[in-house]
């Protein structure tokens, strides 16, 4: 029987220590009042897969070691850097002061479709919103860009963790900072 480190090596995967030292996608996920720990955990797992720089948990968003986060994150809370902020506005103000631009993922007037958007070399903060209310309107109003995912079915939205997975993949695909 192999130990977990040998299993990671056999799969060509890095361990948590190597992950912490590795290059990251210049992207911070900002979770704006996401109520489901399962969604938060899924976003941690996606962030691990694409080496997202950090996750900022804001407002009512659950924080590790909450059991639903643990269920879907499968240990990604140990690899992905995260912090808690009382308000999304405070988290974004800090990021802007450190050179980040802000993209809200939302259906709104004057959006840019994700597939046509080019992030460039600037570091970005990507705001994902509450499962029912979406991204807070004050955040949408102050975002540098509002991005929308093209959808062609009968529903008007995606689950926030599915949406986040699509956006992070698209960001990595366009930036390819490693891999």
Spans of all domains in the chain: 22-107+123-175
The rounded percent of the chain whose pLDDT value lies above 70 is 96
Quick: pLDDT tens for 118-163. Answer: 999 999 999 999 999 999 999 999 999 999 999 999 998 999 999 9
* Angstrom distance (rounded) from CA 37 to CA 73: 10
pLDDT for 3 equals 75
Q: Is the peptide bond before 65 cis (omega within 30 degrees of 0)?
A: yes
β-bridge partners, 52: 25
pLDDT for 168 equals 98
pTM of the model: 0.93
Domain 22-107+123-175: CATH architecture, name and number where available? 3-Layer(aba) Sandwich (3.40)
């Amino acid at each position: 029987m192999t130990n977990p480190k040998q299993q990671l090596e056999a799969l060509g995967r890095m361990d948590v220590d190597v992950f912490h030292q590795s290059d990251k996608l210049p992207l911070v996920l900002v979770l704006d009042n996401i109520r489901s720990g399962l969604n938060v955990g899924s976003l941690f797992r996606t962030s691990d897969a694409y080496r997202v720089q950090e996750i900022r948990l804001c407002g009512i968003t659950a924080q590790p070691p909450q059991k639903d986060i643990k269920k879907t994150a499968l240990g990604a809370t140990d690899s992905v850097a995260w912090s808690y902020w009382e308000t999304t506005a405070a988290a974004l103000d800090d990021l802007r002061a450190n050179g980040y631009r802000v993209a809200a993922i939302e259906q709104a007037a004057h959006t840019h479709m994700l597939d046509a958007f080019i992030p460039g070399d600037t570091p970005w903060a990507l705001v994902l919103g509450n499962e029912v209310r979406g991204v807070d309107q004050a955040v949408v109003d102050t975002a540098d860009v509002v991005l929308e995912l093209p959808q062609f079915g009968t529903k008007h939205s995606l689950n926030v963790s599915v949406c986040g997975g699509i956006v992070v993949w698209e960001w990595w695909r366009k930036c390819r900072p490693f891999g």
